[in-house]
Structures are given as structure tokens and as C-alpha cells.
Structure 1
Amino acid sequence: MSIQITQLSPALGAQIDGINLSEPLSAENHQLIEQALLTHQVLFFRNQPITPQQQASFARHFGDLHIHPIYPNVPEQPEVLILDTAVTDVRDNAIWHTDVTFLPTPAMGAVLSAKLLPPFGGDTLWASSSAAFEALSKPLQVLLDGLTATHDFTHSFPLERYGNTPQALEHYHEVQRKYPPLSHPVVRTHPITGRKGLFVNDGFTTRINELEADESDALLRFLFAHSTRPEFTVRWRWQTNDIAFWDNRITQHYAVDDYRPQRRVMQRATILGDIPA
């Protein structure tokens, strides 16, 4: 069966059919998926019941994998983290964010697999950072290009939620020491496509370094709201065993927290990237 690519919205998003991700990825299909990712920024695959090992194997075709410092992982496959609302507080996902921008080399992308879903709700939205940047006026693009911003691990993982036992507190401070606040460009150039995109997010970005605090706050509020306008987004209604694969360098995403007290279980393999420039 040949692979079909169906675009889902003008800004980003495509559904890929005609491939089985539990099988070894051929060179031809690797190239096709990689090109589709660059074109559409987030890809969706229906009916892909893969194991954590198969998920990690697929993700490794695109780079080295990251082990998350906070979330629990699959013991036999630690590169695959578990987002289980019955076990972990995942409210930090219900905010527009780009994954792990507190790292010196933030994620290139991520592969997310839906394992257990509520009967309704629990959708995820993605936003195109390049579409958002390109919609800004030229004077504002010029102003932003060249500025830097601080990204802080504690902004999405506050002490009061993740340091509530002596063991958890010790681990939290260890992670905090390992990942101090750092700076990235406000506007990032995609290393392959050359498209520019906004690289600030409400999950981890705390300050535009070159501005006064009140100026930074005002500009970040505008950029957070602008980046997630509906015309820059795509919304995915999950089915069990769906997989999403997104380019973390040029997108943000938001996991809608509207299904409590129902349970939702997702598994994610995060692919490390390069230093933003």
C-alpha cells in the first residue's frame, strides 16, 4: 500500500496513511516522512499499536533520544516517558509550550502515542511558530530578530508540585542544578528549511533579556497570544493507538485538560536537537 499524505490545515498538520510504524523504517519511507515533517510541521498516524521499544526505534531514525528529568518513564525503555493522569500531575501540558526549551539543545521533535483515552475530550492542538512570525509586521520582525529570552525549567515544573516529599525535593534540586535558566533567540531559524519562527513559549520563557521587565512582560504576553491564534493551529482528536510526530523547532502545542476525572495515558519519545540559532 502506498503512503498517502493529507494536509489538514493551511498553517500546519498532515495525516499519513499507508505505513506501519511497528515495522522497520525503510530508507525511502524515512526520507518521505522527514520531508513531510519539514513541510507540514506535525504529522498524524492512525491505528499504530506500537510497543515502547518500537516507538523508540522509530524516533531514533531522526536523532538521539532524551530522558526526561521529571516525568516517569517505561522502565525497560527509559527514553519513552509516560504521561498518565492517574499517576502524574500533567497540568504543565495544558499550556502552550515547546518541549524542553530549558535544555541547551532543545528537542528536535517528539513522537507521541495514545494508549488510553477518555470517551471524549483530551484533544491536542499544535501551532506553527513560522506562520506566527511571518504574520507579524516587518518592523516587529526586525525588532524581535536578534533579541534573546530566558527559559526556565521551574516555570512549568514548580517546586510546590514536584518537591512534596523529601526524596522528590532532593531530586528536584538536583534537576534544578543541572538545568539552570538559559537563553535562546526569540526568533529561531529552522536549521534545514531556513524558515524563521518565534521561539518563546508560555511554558518555559520568563524574560526577554534586552528589555526592561515591564516591556518584556508586555511583549511576551502579546507574542504568546499572537502565536496561538486559531489560523496558525491544527487540532487533533485522538483515537487509541494514534501517533503524532512534530517538529519541536518550529511549533508549540497544548494538551487540552477537559476530561477529568477520566484517565488519559500517553507515551512520548523525545528527539534531541541542536543549539537554536
Structure 2
Amino acid sequence: MPLHIRPLTPALGAQVLDIDLRTPLSSSQHHALEQALLEHQVLFFRDQSLAPGDHARFAAHFGDLHVHPVYPHVPGLPEITVLDTQSLDTRDTATWHTDVTFLATPAMGAVLAARQLPPCGGDTLWASGIAAYGALSPQLRQLLDGLSATHDISKHFPQAIEGVITAQYMARLKAAQVQNPPVSHPVVRTHPVSGRKALFVNEGFTTRIDQLPVAESDALLRFLFAHATRPEFTLRWRWQTGDVAFWDNRATQHYAVDDYLPQRRVMHRAAILGDKPF
């Protein structure tokens, strides 16, 4: 049966109906999901019952999986990152960010599954870098097309939060900082499949625009961070247990709202390796 795909906002987002992600994808389903991801940038699936192994197998349909250098993972499945507020401070995800842009080849996408949710709250927002870029003036687009920006792992992850950050976390973070020195990416990224252009700076990892003095870089980044997350470029997803989100990390950023603490929220994520931005 053809997939039923229901768009959610003009800028981005669609819900995919009538599919069980535990079963192997047919070639037609695989192609349909790839095309839907290109068009809508983030896809949502309700009422899934993905075990961690199912989760990894589904994500691996779209590429090799990344092992996160800082966050814990499911025992025996290093590709499945565990985001559990009972054991880890996740306030670093409560900022607009694109996943692992501290890598020379950031993730092309990610698959996030809701395992345990608070009674209310804990929504996630996504923003379209394609829509944000398209809304800029031609003059500003021309300026940005020639610029690059530095992305740094040290900006994103908490260094020390009393009672939350563990010695193991700090050891992993320090090792990750050594293994992942700052890298530069284009401020405007060209999507390697669709050819569409998207803003590719994010408040979580981007520290400066390389070609500008610090004061000018700071001012321009403040504008771009605010512009990229204007309401008309975003959607907000209200999670239900069993939901799965699959997003194109090359063209979006997201924000996990931490309005539910001290209630517990547990999410599992698989990130799919990508290529060098251009």
C-alpha cells in the first residue's frame, strides 16, 4: 500500500500513517520515506512499538549509524543514545541546535523514539533552515553564501552542574573535546540531494563566523539564530509514548522543551552519519 503522508505546516513536518516501523521496509516504502523526508524535512510516526534493536535497524536503512561520544547508550547497542533526565542533565538539548555539527561530517538525519514521558510538557520544536534562508533578502543571502562558521563541541555540553553531571560524563566530554577540535562549515549549506540551500548555523554549536571580526560575527549570529527560529519556520510536536520522529539534520534544527522537570522523560535516538557540508 502507498504511504499516507499528511503535511503538518507549510514550512516543514508531516505525519506518516499506516506503517509499522518494526517490519523491514520494502523498496517502495524506503523510496517514499526518502522523498517525504526531502520534501517535509521531519516525519512523525504515531503508535510505534520499537524495541531498541528495531530502532537501530530502521535508522540503518538510511545509512551507517553514529556513536555519540558523550551521551550514554542502550547496553549492547552503542548506536542508540539514551536521553534520560533521571540520570543525565539534558538542558543542553533545551537550546536550538543541529545534531553533532562539531563533526567534520555531521549527521544526515536522526530517528528519535519516545520511551517515557512526563504527564505533560516535554514537546520538541523543529525549524526549517530552508524556509529561513528563503525568507532572507537577496542582499543578505549573497553575503552569507560566501561565509563559513566555526562549530565547537565545548559550547554545547554542560561542563558542571551540581548533582547532575557525573565523573564518567566529564571524562567522556573531555575525551570528546580532544577528539573533536572545532571545525568550520558553510553558513549556508547546499543540500546534497535536493540542491536546496539552508541556513546551517545553530546556537548550540556555532561560535563565530570565520571571516568577520568578533563584534560583527556576534551581531550577525544573534540575528541569524533569532531569524532561523521564527514561528513561521517551525513546528511543535506534542509527544505520545511510542511516537517516532525522523528528521533531516542537513536542513533543520530542533529544541527540546524542558518545562517538565522534575518529572522524568526518556528518549532514544539513532543518528545517521552524513557527509561534509558544502
Alignment TM-score, normalising by the size of structure 1: 0.97
Partner letter of residue 80 of structure 1? I
Letter in 2 for 1:160: A
Matching of residue 172 in structure 1 with residue 169 in structure 2: no
**Number of aligned residues:** 277
1:36-75 mapped onto 2 (5 Å cutoff): 36-75=36-75
Q: Which structure 1 segments of 5+ residues have no match?
A: none
Between the aligned partners of 1:107 and 1:164, the Cα distance in structure 2 is 25
What is the one-letter code of the residue matched to 1:156? H
- Residue aligned with 1:102, SS: coil
User: Is structure 2 residue 114 aligned with structure 1 residue 114?
Assistant: yes
Matched, 1:150 2:150: yes
Q: How does 1:1-277 map to 2 (within 5 A)?
A: 2-161=2-161, 167-277=168-278
Q: Which runs of 4+ in 1 moved over 6 A?
A: none
Partner of 1:107: helix, strand, or coil? Answer: coil
Rounded to whole Å, the distance in 1 between the matches of 2:167 and 2:110 is 32
SS of 1:268's partner is strand
Classify the secondary structure of the residue corresponding to 2:110: strand
Q: Classify 1:130/1:177 alpha carbon distance in 2 versus 1 (closer, same or farther; 3 Å).
A: same
Which letter maps to 2:37? L
Give a deviation string over 1:205-225, Cα, whole Å, max 9, x none: 000000000000000000000
In structure 2, distance between residues paired with 1:262 and 1:28: 41
- Which residue identity does 2:243 align to in structure 1? D
Report if aligned partners of 1:2, 1:18 keep a CA contact under 8 Å in 2.
no
The change in CA–CA distance for 1:24 and 1:197 in structure 2 (over 3 A counts) is same
Q: Distance in 1 between matches of 2:106 and 2:123?
A: 24
DSSP 3-state at the match of 1:78? strand
> What percent of counterpart residues are identical?
65
Do the aligned residues in 1 keep the contact of 2:89 with 2:165 (CA within 8 Å)?
no
Q: Could you tell me whether the CA contact under 8 Å between 2:2 and 2:29 is conserved in 1?
A: no
- Quote the offset at 1:6 in angstroms: 0.3
- Work out whether residues 20 and 48 of structure 1, in 8 Å CA contact, stay in contact via their aligned partners in 2: yes
Q: Deviations over 1:36-87 (max 9, x none)?
A: 0000000000000111111110101111100001110001211000000001
Partner AA of 1:96 in structure 2: W
The TM-score with structure 2 as length reference comes to 0.97
Q: Deviations over 1:11-48 (max 9, x none)?
A: 00000001100011111100000100000000000000
